[in-house]
């Protein structure tokens, strides 16, 4: 498939708060370099199962531009023959110094049916506890499950840092999350014509609770929707965010960079 051309570089560097370079494929060093060339100087590589979490931790240990998060994805957890054994591996990986978050975990009512929901919620609760035990950010996948995600967080007690990855709610849900001090991470979906509710949500999100991500290779921003996504396409999404907020692009990039370092810690250590 054709790769979209690189967008105009950003003047102020920003990060990709959620990417899957293992699923993007190819040499991760090439993807990291292509991103840096347009001002996307730091990435968060996200694990979704034991193997990809291990891969993510290794990449972060080797690449100064990469930090990692580790977890069992909500659609993965119900399929595992031994959830507890897998959780033990995640817990071990979570203690590595360049693993800075627990995720993506959460609830998915779209892909997982009634039969998998008990295991999915049990896994989510275990990840919430792990984030609290390790003091690392909790990175949440929430698909058609806004109310249930908040219910579990209230029930377990939310960790200090909660990121809603690929924020998919409307203005009202955004206000609720902002009030709780959560971070809202917007993906390429915020550029889609049929998603005015996401631009409304971005508009009411304060700059110090805002993140930007690709979720690559998924959710490619406009005008390349349907083509493969990669971290070098972040400028398209961050420009859409600045437009939605009627804010200065450089200021938005600087704020997102600062927020990223507050949430995940420094990439330099
Ligand atoms: Zn993801």
Report how far ligand 1's centroid is from the alpha carbon of 226 (Å): 17
Report how far ligand 1's centroid is from the alpha carbon of 18 (Å): 6
What pLDDT, on a 0 to 100 scale, did the predictor assign at position 12? 98
Report how far ligand 1's centroid is from the alpha carbon of 219 (Å): 10
Question: In the predicted model, is pLDDT for residue 85 greater than 80?
Answer: yes
Report how far ligand 1's centroid is from the alpha carbon of 136 (Å): 17
* Residue range 251-260: mean pLDDT, rounded: 98
Report how far ligand 1's centroid is from the alpha carbon of 106 (Å): 11
Question: What confidence tens digit (pLDDT) does each residue in 210-233 have?
Answer: 999 999 999 999 999 989 999 999
Question: In the predicted model, is pLDDT for residue 1 greater than 70?
Answer: no
Report how far ligand 1's centroid is from the alpha carbon of 43 (Å): 13
Residue pair 41/13 in contact by the 8 Å Cβ criterion: yes
In residues, how long is the chain?
269
What pLDDT, on a 0 to 100 scale, did the predictor assign at position 113? 81
Report how far ligand 1's centroid is from the alpha carbon of 19 (Å): 6
Percent of the chain beyond pLDDT 90? 95
Report how far ligand 1's centroid is from the alpha carbon of 89 (Å): 19
- Averaged confidence pLDDT in the chain: 96
Report how far ligand 1's centroid is from the alpha carbon of 183 (Å): 15
* Residue range 28-52: mean pLDDT, rounded: 98
Report how far ligand 1's centroid is from the alpha carbon of 115 (Å): 23
Report how far ligand 1's centroid is from the alpha carbon of 20 (Å): 7
Report how far ligand 1's centroid is from the alpha carbon of 21 (Å): 10
Report how far ligand 1's centroid is from the alpha carbon of 133 (Å): 23
Question: What confidence tens digit (pLDDT) does each residue in 114-143 have?
Answer: 888 999 999 999 999 999 999 999 999 999
Question: What confidence tens digit (pLDDT) does each residue in 169-209 have?
Answer: 999 999 999 999 999 999 999 999 999 999 999 999 999 99
The partner residues of 19 in beta bridges, in order of sequence, read 45, 216
Confidence band of 111 (pLDDT split at 50, 70, 90):
confident
Q: DSSP states of the chain as a string?
A: -PPPPPPPPPSS-EEEEEE-HHHH-S-HHHHHHHHHHTTEEEEEEE--SHHHHHHHHHHHHH-TTEEEEE---TTTGGG-S-HHHHHHHHHHHHTSTTEEEEEEEEEETTTS-GGGHHHHHHHHHHHHHHHHHHTPEEEEEEES-HHHHHHHHHHH---S-EEEET----HHHHHHHHHTT-EEEE-GGGG-TT-HHHHHHHHTS-GGGEEE---BTSSPPTTSTTSPP-GGGHHHHHHHHHHHHT--HHHHHHHHHHHHHHHH--TT-
Report how far ligand 1's centroid is from the alpha carbon of 153 (Å): 20
Report how far ligand 1's centroid is from the alpha carbon of 104 (Å): 6
CA 86 to CA 97: how far, in whole Å? Answer: 20
CA 236 to CA 231: how far, in whole Å? Answer: 10
CA dist 181 → 48, 53, 87, 162 (Å): 25, 27, 27, 8
Number of C-beta neighbours around residue 159 at 10 A: 21
Identify whether 223 is preceded by a cis peptide bond (ω within 30 of 0): yes
What pLDDT, on a 0 to 100 scale, did the predictor assign at position 64? 98
């Amino acid at each position: 498939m054709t790769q979209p051309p690189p967008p105009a570089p950003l003047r102020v560097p920003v990060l990709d708060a959620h990417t899957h370079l293992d699923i993007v494929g190819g040499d991760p060093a090439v993807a990291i370099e292509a991103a840096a060339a347009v001002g996307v100087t730091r990435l968060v590589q996200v694990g979704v199962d034991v193997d990809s979490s291990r891969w993510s931790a290794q990449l972060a240990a080797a690449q100064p531009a990469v930090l990692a998060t580790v977890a069992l994805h909500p659609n993965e957890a119900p399929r595992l023959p031994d959830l507890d054994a897998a959780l033990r591996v995640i817990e071990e990986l979570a203690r590595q110094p360049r693993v800075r978050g627990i995720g993506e975990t959460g609830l998915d009512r779209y892909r997982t049916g009634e039969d998998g929901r008990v295991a999915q919620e049990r896994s989510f609760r275990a990840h919430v506890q792990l984030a609290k035990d390790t003091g690392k950010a909790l990175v949440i996948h929430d698909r058609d499950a806004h109310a249930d995600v908040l219910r579990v967080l209230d029930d377990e007690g939310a960790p200090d840092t909660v990121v809603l990855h690929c924020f998919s709610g409307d203005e009202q849900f955004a206000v609720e999350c902002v009030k709780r001090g959560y971070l809202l991470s917007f993906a390429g979906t915020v550029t889609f014509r049929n998603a005015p509710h996401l631009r409304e949500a971005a508009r009411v999100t304060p700059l110090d609770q805002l993140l930007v991500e690709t979720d690559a290779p998924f959710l490619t921003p406009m005008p390349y929707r349907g083509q493969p996504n990669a971290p070098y396409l972040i400028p398209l999404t961050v420009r859409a965010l600045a437009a939605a907020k009627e804010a200065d692009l450089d200021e938005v990039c600087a704020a997102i960079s600062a927020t990223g370092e507050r949430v995940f810690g420094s990439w330099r250590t």
